[in-house]
Amino acid sequence: MQESAFHEILIVDDILTNLKLLTDIFRGNGYTVRQASSGSLALRSLEIKPPDLILLDVNMPEMDGYEVCRRLKANEKTSSIPVIFISACNEASEKVEGFNAGGVDFITKPFAPAEVLARAATHIRLRELTERLEQKVHEATSELIVANQQLRESLAEREVLLKEIHHRVKNNLQIVSSLLDLQSNAIPDTRSRYLFHESRSRIQAMAMIHEMLYQSSDFAVIDFAKYLDRLTSSLFQLYLQDGRVSRLLDVGEVILGLDEAIPCGLIVNELVSNALKYAFPGNRPGALNVGVHCLDGGMITLMVEDDGAGFPDSLDFRETETLGLQLVTLLVKQLRGTIELLSTPGTCFRIQFPKSLTRHD
């Protein structure tokens, strides 16, 4: 069976001889043909059943072919049907008007049967391919919508899970901190009780990071400037409440991932705690400055500086037996960074480390 047997063509022409000629050409090649001798009859026929192709005469009484084409293109039901204009005129202006009205081709009378059949078959085939492509696009779009919805649901579930994890870690750390505090109250030895308080301070520094991540819209990174403000404020309240030492912050826009924020937080906790405990003996006033900045080349610099009594010249901070400075040295190595003790009137530690290659922006 010929493929054309499945296709129907509507021929619209007010000249009966043209109708008969075109009908014979198409029927002789397996097409189903419907006829209309005027534009109004053609439009009524289209309402009953849209054909696969329309051959439309330009010059007809009452309603010309251009108007018929404009009307069917304005109708969603018939707008996709290809229209080939037929005319005895071969003027370019007439062809342009036909294309502007929505036609896809133009055949000039007298007809060459082979040309008429080839043009008709081409445009029917183009329409079929277009409809198949539109169907595939529709199916792909529907699949994409479903996939996007599933992805959004998966991301929402992940966010809820991460939020819950940070919440539980924070709570568990606070429980450990409270237990250490309760246990320290039962210890009569002042030195041992002091060590419990130091451990509690370290745990609180970590818990604070998880608390900020829990409250953040991005559970992977933390605004380290805000964290430093909260951490140093907490340490000043813990160790020095008389206001004689000023708390200064020199911080840029630094966003750190969890793997960087926790060791950095612990480093700051140790260095600031040490400064508040030892740099300002008696009633000595002064200032303590904490700074963090991103440098060119992907490096981050962290500085803790005070104008207090200064670090003892006889003491090598890398070889000290105190747990705090040992912890600082180990954490700097974990960050693949370097630490320096600078010569200043007081004490200044400068740490530099490379920013992680993972996304922090």
Ranges of the chain with pLDDT below 50: 1, 358-361
Domain ranges of the chain: 3-111, 221-361
What's residue 359's pLDDT? 44
What's residue 214's pLDDT? 62
What's residue 221's pLDDT? 78
Strands 105-108 and 83-87: parallel
Going by CATH, does the domain composed of 3-111 fall within 3.40.50.2300?
yes
| Helix, strand or coil, per DSSP, at residue 285 | coil
What's residue 179's pLDDT? 66
| Cα–Cα distance measured from residue 341 to residue 358, given in angstroms and rounded to the nearest whole number | 29
What's residue 1's pLDDT? 41
Contacts of 25 (CB under 8 A, 6+ apart): 111, 113, 116, 117
CATH of 221-361, one of 3.10.300.10, 3.40.50.720, 3.30.1370.60, 3.30.565.10: 3.30.565.10
What's residue 158's pLDDT? 61
- Per-residue pLDDT tens digits for 199-235: 777 777 767 776 776 666 665 778 888 888 888 988 8
Cis-peptide, bond into residue 50, ω within 30° of zero: no
Distances (CA, A) of 19 to 11, 83, 270, 273: 7, 16, 97, 100
| pTM of the predicted protein model | 0.52
- Per-residue pLDDT tens digits for 282-297: 889 999 999 999 988 8
